[in-house]
Structure 1
Amino acid sequence: MEDRIDHSGLGGFRTATLIYAGALALIATLSMVTHVMVDAIVQRQEATARVVNISGRQRMLSQRIPMLALEISRADSAEARALYKAEMQKAIDMMAVSHDALADGSQTLNISAEKSAEVAALYNAQQLGLNGQVASYLLQARQFLALPEEDMANSSQLNSMLAASHGPILEALDKAVRQYETESETAIRHLRQILLALVGVMLATLSAEAIFVFRPLFRKLEIAQSKLLDAARTDPLTGCWNRRFLMDAALREAARKRRTGATLSVMMLDIDHFKKINDSYGHAVGDDALLVLVNAILPSIRASDLLGRLGGEEFAILLPETALDQACQVAEKLRENIAAAQINGGETVFSMTVSIGVADMLPEEDDFLLVLERADKALYAAKKNGRNRVVRFTPELAQAPGKGF
């Protein structure tokens, strides 16, 4: 039994399984990479937002510091002057801390020290570089706070801060903000392109998997299912219907006959002296004889007629919409065709004969097994009366012996 099992399709299923597993692994990897890329985009946007926010605050502080200096120089009370000085000192300290974070990075503010060449050039340029301008600007602000109160209003430090706040330092800070935004947009656009490429690869992988894995796999499963269905319905030696399928089909035809009133006839065939064929030529030749029988029958019956092997050398043919007289004519033709068929016995060629019993389903009957029993009785009569003949069931055969069903 084990030698008969077909393992030819197992390699294809294993290959399809490996391809499927590999595709799943690739999709899983791409999904993780996609997640990392999305996370990188989010982190990049967050980092840029922090830098742009701090850079924007630097721009605001560059305007606030000279405004506070003006308020200090115009204050009409010591209490107001002290309040403005505290605010100005706070703004100076914040601008200094923020600049150091932007220039050198800061763990506290979560700002990286890494910079592009363009941003580094904005900070480190010898002329109009942010490092130099901010340092000079903050120096002027601190010197202003150290001046006597009577010298503040017309001081060079105040004039320098006012001029710088509307000139070079403001322009430099604006350039820094624009550069941060441009680099962020470029980096995010590049990450999005990579993300789109990854999504494209995933879609291509899924499409390839559907085309090269699932479609062939489903086709193989359909073929395997069809083979299993055929194996459950057909006789493995002769290829005709097996007993179970033939009986199920007979019950369906009987039910249809009861609904429509159509005629239904049955033949029972048995090879004459089949044991002698096996004993004389061997079982392999006996199997060939069964195939010769089937091949002699099939061309002479309709597509709607059903030929089935009941077991051994015994066959039955179901003939829907066929009256008993017509069935007997068909049976006689089959008997002649089978007798004329040649069988290769190795050293000799021989022929065989069959006995056939024919019966039809009566209008008042509900049980199809009764028809089979009558056909079997007719077959037994054909055997008893010399074989190689067709016998139709008649009421006289009602008490005749048969195999029974």
Structure 2
Amino acid sequence: MAANPLALGLRAVRFAASDEISQELESRHVRQLLYLLPVLGPLFSLAILLFSAWDFWRDAGNAGAALGIRGLLVAIGAFAWLPSSAFMAPLYRCGILYLTHASALIIAEYVLQDGFLYGLSGITSCVFVVAVMTLRLRDFLGIIAVPSALLAVLTAARMPWQDAVNQLMLYFFAIAVALMLMYVIRSFAAQTVELEGQLLKSARRDSLTGAFNRGYLFELAERAVALARRHGRPLAVAMLDIDHFKCINDCHGHAVGDSVIVSLAEVCMRELRAIDHFGRIGGEEFVCIMPETDQAEALQCAERLRSCIEKARVDGADGAICWTVSIGVAMLDKQRPDWKSLLHAADCALYRAKHEGRNRVELA
């Protein structure tokens, strides 16, 4: 029996579609940042400013200058989460937000007496914000690069070298933990995208053939008909039915019958265009929706499908088995202005093909 196309497709997602998953992951992350920035930005700004209360308790003499530095840089960074910056990419806005706010914290700690000694926890905490902002190593490192260099220079200038090395080691350990957190978040997000994709395929595809199922095909059909009518474009529908399918099941068994159905679907999905919609609507009945297709093209396509299916073979107990299909074609027009009437017309044409000898194409 032929391999299940749906099962093969799902395995392909795991092994060959990592780029597609990554693209979807990036797209979702961008949308999440757009929603996150108006919330994360003000909270981040507020946290940097509230840290000044700790400054006044530790070093009241320099706390005012530190507060001025914080306020200035936070005000500059607020541009990143205000609606006026919507023209910029979300990741660049995140970079500006982190650069200004982390620098505000670092420079303020430099101004304060023993600032780096007591303020390192606040500086390292900011690194974990970047783990939420990014999904890739290069983006993470790009965002923290300038603040990290600033911290290294100012720490070396303010503290004895042994203490400076100790502080920077703790800081880089925090970076390593934040990176691990970023990869954990990305891993869970990627698994979610993959599972959702598999679930969506299962919900939209026929489990035996991999063609669209009846529900999703009809949804696509309603949309295609609406677009064709709105723009005055041609649209054709072809309904296919396997000739004497009951005899195939009775003579060769249901397993062979399933192989015939799968083979038919494979032929049709190979021969049809990317813009066409092909699905299984019943046991051995299939429908093809062909947008941007006039009558001559629709009949030519239906005849090509009939001919290719006639040449197809599946293995049976007594050797290769061949079969044929009858096809009914209907065009969207004034007499058939909607999906229901269009499908009915194709169905009537199909039964006329059956009655007039089978293995043929009839136009409604």
Q: Give the TM-score taking structure 1 as reference length.
A: 0.48
| Whole-angstrom CA distance in 1 between matches of 2:276 and 2:324 | 22
Asked if 1:337 corresponds to 2:308, the answer is: yes
Does structure 1 residue 203 correspond to structure 2 residue 144?
Answer: no
Map residues 186-197 of structure 1 onto 2, 5 A cutoff: 194-197=166-169
1:318 CA displacement: 0.5
Alignment counterpart, residue 263 of structure 1, candidates 226, 234, 242 = 234
Match of 1:369 among 310, 328, 340: 340
The structural deviation recorded for 1:337 is 1.0
CA contact (8 A) 1:357 1:377 kept: yes
* Structure 2 residue matching 1:288: 3-state secondary structure: helix
**Distance (Å, rounded) in 2 between the aligned partners of 1:251 and 1:369:** 9
Shift of 1:357: 0.7
Is 1:220 the equivalent of 2:191?
yes
Question: Aligned AA for 1:198?
Answer: L
Question: For each residue in 1:172-230, what CA deviation from the matched residue of structure 2 results, as whole angstroms up to 9, or x when unmatched?
Answer: xxxxxxxxxxxxxxx9986675454333212211112313x222332222211111111
TM-score in terms of structure 2 length: 0.54
Residues 365/272 of structure 1: CA separation in 2 closer, same or farther (3 Å cut): closer
CA distance in 1, matches of 2:349, 2:188: 51
Provide the residue aligned with 2:225 in structure 1: 254
Q: Which has the higher contact order (CA 8 A, sep 6+)?
A: 2
- Contact preservation (8 Å) 1:261, 1:363: no
Aligned residue type for 1:391: E
**C-alpha deviations, 1:259-293, integer Å up to 9, x for none?**
11111110000101112212222222111111111
- By how many angstroms is 1:342 displaced? 0.9
In structure 1, distance between residues paired with 2:299 and 2:255: 32
5 Å-filtered alignment, 1:233-248, equals 233-248=204-219
Residue 292 (structure 1) aligned to one of 263, 276, 281: 263
1:306 aligns with 2:277: yes
The CA distance in 1 between the partners of 2:162 and 2:304, in whole Å, is 83
Distance in 2 separating the partners of 1:346 and 1:215:
50
Q: What does 1:34-73 align with in structure 2 at a 5 Å threshold? A: none
Query: Using the alignment, how far apart are the partners of 1:235 and 1:296 within structure 2?
Result: 16
Distance 1:289 1:304 in 2: 25
- Counterpart CA distance in 2 for 1:327 and 1:237 is 26
2:202 to 223, 226, 231: 231
CA separation in 2, counterparts of 1:306 and 1:195? 62
1:323 aligns with 2:323: no
Percent identity of equivalent pairs: 40
CA contact (8 A) 1:355 1:388 kept: yes
Counterpart CA distance in 2 for 1:207 and 1:331 is 56
CA deviations over 1:117-158 (Å, ceiling 9, x no partner): xxxxxxxxxxxxxxxxxxxxxxxxxxxxxxxxxxxxxxxxxx
Amino acid at match of 2:327: I
Residue identity opposite 2:286 in structure 1 = F
* 1:359 to 2:330 alignment: yes
Gaps of 5+ in 1: 10-41, 47-186, 394-405
Shift of residue 353, structure 1, vs aligned partner = 0.7
Q: In the alignment, is the contact (CA less than 8 A) between 1:246 and 1:308 conserved in 2?
A: yes
Q: Deviation string for 1:74-93 (max 9, x for gaps)?
A: xxxxxxxxxxxxxxxxxxxx
For the residues of structure 1 that align with 2:195 and 2:347, how far apart are their CA atoms? 37
CA–CA distance in 1 between the matches of 2:306 and 2:278?
Answer: 14
Residue pair 1:270, 1:314 contacting (<8 A) in 2 also: yes
Q: Name stretches of at least 5 consecutive residues in structure 2 with no aligned partner.
A: 1-6, 15-54, 60-158
